[in-house]
């Protein structure tokens, strides 16, 4: 699904609207991740390209301060509604990874299956922004699902 950000956002919008949300992934055992983040004294987490918001919700349930960004307005609205239903203080915004601020305020950043949907130049800029939004010594959890092109 490599395309320009606006086109990619439209594709995700259609997908989110056509697929019923499955919240069950947030209920999985995420202790391996939560323990690692606690061991690193992480308090603030940025979830880049959060999709359905499973990781955001699981981490907020565990007490982390979560900010989540996605290119899809529909996804952001879905996560905000879910967080409100559960009383979770998740801040969710529409923001491409390539446009993240550069203020180094997050203890950890999660970007799961995000960069592999970008052109090389976009992914490089996204990585620059991700590193810039991390505080010095912060953790980056990066997942790649696509082919290595």
Distance CA 54, CA 133 (A): 22
- Distant-in-sequence, close-in-space partners of 57: CB < 8 Å, separation ≥ 6: 23, 26, 79, 82, 83, 86, 88, 90
Evaluate whether residue 78 is within a structural domain: yes
**Average pLDDT of the chain to the nearest whole number:** 86
User: What CATH number has the domain bearing residue 71?
Assistant: 3.40.50.150
Please indicate whether residue 75 or residue 145 has the higher confidence score (pLDDT). Answer: 75
Evaluate whether residue 29 is within a structural domain: no
Joined together, the tokens standing for residue 137 give 């010594």
Q: What are phi and psi of 40, to 5 degrees?
A: -90, 10
- Supply the DSSP symbol for 54: H
Q: Tens digits of per-residue pLDDT, 105-128?
A: 999 999 887 777 777 888 898 889
Q: Tens digits of per-residue pLDDT, 16-54?
A: 667 666 677 677 788 999 999 999 999 999 999 898 899
Evaluate whether residue 34 is within a structural domain: no
Joined together, the tokens standing for residue 80 give 């905000």
Range of the domain at 121: 5-17+40-143
Evaluate whether residue 64 is within a structural domain: yes
* Burial class for 19, CB neighbours closer than 10 Å (0-12, 13-18, 19+): exposed
Its pTM stands at 0.83
Evaluate whether residue 33 is within a structural domain: no
Distance CA 128, CA 12 (A): 24
Specify whether the CB–CB gap between 144 and 116 falls below 8 A.
yes
Distance CA 91, CA 94 (A): 10
């Amino acid at each position: 699904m490599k395309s320009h950000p606006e086109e990619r956002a439209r594709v995700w919008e259609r997908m989110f609207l056509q697929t019923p949300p499955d919240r069950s992934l947030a209920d999985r055992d995420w202790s391996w991740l939560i323990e690692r983040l606690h061991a690193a004294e992480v308090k603030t987490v940025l979830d880049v390209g959060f999709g359905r918001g499973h990781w955001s919700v699981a981490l907020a349930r565990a007490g982390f301060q979560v900010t989540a960004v996605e290119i899809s307005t529909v996804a952001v609205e879905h996560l905000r509604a879910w967080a409100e239903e559960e009383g979770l203080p998740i801040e969710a915004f529409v923001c491409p990874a390539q446009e993240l601020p550069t203020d180094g305020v997050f203890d950890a950043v999660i970007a799961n299956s995000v960069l592999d949907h970008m052109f090389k130049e976009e992914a490089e800029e996204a990585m620059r922004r991700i590193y810039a939004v991390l505080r010095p010594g912060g953790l980056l959890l990066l997942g790649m699902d696509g082919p290595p092109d």
